[in-house]
Structure 1
Amino acid sequence: MVEKKHPLRPQVEWHSRGYLPHWEAGEHPQSITFRLADSLPSELLSRWARDLKESDPELDSTEQRRRYEEALDKGHGEALLAQPDAGSIVQAALLHFDGVRYRLHAWSIMPNHVHVLATPLVPHALSAIIHSWKSFTALQINRALGRQGMLWFPEYFDRRIRDEGHFQRALYYIETNAVSAGLCARAEDWPHSSAACIRGSNEVEL
């Protein structure tokens, strides 16, 4: 008798689609970043690829992610998530299965990318959770904005949170990202974020 595999249960801890490695860490907090398909210019990505070939193969992944997120904060591409309807759709999708498929600790929906701090709940795999967010929101945003075509870049960054200090640093980075990018003066002023909806005075609109 062949055992049926749960579609949301990770079959291996480490996996990759050929771009970035991902770690299915079970019920451990994860810092996640996913972005719009046009959020990084192709010439910039090509230059990074050349740099990687010429650099130490053990290039610090933290440095790679820092460079990646600094580029995202420049707001390349159409930055569709800055439109209120699009931002609201993503925020509602993140909140929808909070406490069911994952525990949502923090989020910030930037103009061309999304940061999330969440803990997957067994048996739901992180990869399946992110796929659900992206597939649902792509359909809804395209419909709301009257557009067609790819919305999200296929890959995403994830990082397992090591300890309480790392958790607090990740939460602070996510909730102050809009301030660091020069988009608002206070974290609570960025509407589609946990800083505004949980720690600020704004109420979540679903």
Structure 2
Amino acid sequence: MEFRFFDPSAKTEVTHGHLPHWEQMNAFYFITWRTADSIPADALEKWQAGREAWLWSHGIDSALEDWQRELECLPEAEHQEFYRLVTTKWHSMLDECHGDCVLRRPELSEIVAENMLHQDGIKYSMEAFVVMPNHVHVLAGVAGRGEMKRLCRNWKRYTAGRINAVLNREGQFWQWEIFDHVVRSEASLRRFREYVVNNPVKARLKADEYRVWTK
């Protein structure tokens, strides 16, 4: 199946939680989800305030439902500035390894990795993923429109159940929301792949503290 990059003129499915989620037909996505204890509340609030300030300075009201459309339609230089100054800070907070970081354990990261590849080539085309101590990055082409969030829910539900069983725990394992981004170009796809592969090095992890896969 041929996957596509973000097209501002194409039909887009938009859903909302704490973050808006955009989905297009047969698109490439860079997706991140994290454990429930991965970012302290005060650090997250500070980051959200910074994001809203950046958006406001570029004429975008984050209180509006379609603010992400306005962001995606900004010139490439401004879009890259947002990623550098806002999105990168969010990822850096994850790399500080807050919380229990139980995914350092190889038998737990293996549960996630095996699930990532279970239906590769059927419902999606996996490009790369990394299981970090308290979060997961995925780069994949997802078949259909409106399937990305459903796919992520299934990944999270299955892995949370398996991991909680090993840990003899109950309750929320993953944070409810995901952080997703429709890939805009071939160059962006390469950058995201490099980020996924190099993330453990950036976070200064030991070889047995993460699990990475790339096509």
- Normalising by structure 1, we get a TM-score of 0.80
Structure 2 matches for 1:32-181, cutoff 5 A?
A: 32-52=31-51, 57=56, 58=58, 61-62=82-83, 63-122=85-144, 125-181=147-203
Q: Which amino acid counterpart does residue 15 of structure 1 have in structure 2?
A: T
Report the identity percentage: 34
Does 2:23 align with 1:24? yes
Instruction: Tell me the SS of whatever aligns to 1:89.
Output: helix
CA shift for structure 1 position 82: 0.9
**d(CA) in 1 for partners of 2:189 and 2:55?**
29
Map of 1:194 onto structure 2: 213
- Asked if structure 2 preserves the Cα contact closer than 8 Å seen for 1:85 and 1:144, the reply is no
Instruction: Tell me the SS of whatever aligns to 1:66.
Output: helix
CA shift for structure 1 position 88: 0.6
Q: Which deviates further from its counterpart, 118-127 or 67-76? A: 118-127
Give the unaligned 5+ runs of structure 2: 1-10, 61-80
Q: Which deviates further from its counterpart, 51-60 or 175-184? A: 51-60
Distance 1:123 1:20, change over 3 A: closer
Give the unaligned 5+ runs of structure 1: 1-10, 199-206
- Asked if structure 1 preserves the Cα contact closer than 8 Å seen for 2:137 and 2:196, the reply is yes
**d(CA) in 1 for partners of 2:50 and 2:181?**
23
- Asked if structure 2 preserves the Cα contact closer than 8 Å seen for 1:175 and 1:193, the reply is yes
**d(CA) in 2 for partners of 1:61 and 1:97?**
33
CA shift for structure 1 position 181: 0.8
**d(CA) in 1 for partners of 2:183 and 2:54?**
27
* Larger RCO of the pair (alpha carbons < 8 Å, separation 6+): 2
**d(CA) in 2 for partners of 1:21 and 1:166?**
20
Runs of 4+ in 1 over 3 A off after TM superposition: 49-56, 58-61
Distance 1:190 1:119, change over 3 A: farther
**RMSD, matched Cα:** 2.2
- Asked if structure 1 preserves the Cα contact closer than 8 Å seen for 2:133 and 2:210, the reply is no
CA shift for structure 1 position 54: 5.6
Map of 1:3 onto structure 2: none
Instruction: Tell me the SS of whatever aligns to 1:38.
Output: coil
CA shift for structure 1 position 49: 3.8
**d(CA) in 1 for partners of 2:40 and 2:210?**
27
CA shift for structure 1 position 109: 0.3
**d(CA) in 1 for partners of 2:54 and 2:119?**
41
Map of 1:5 onto structure 2: none
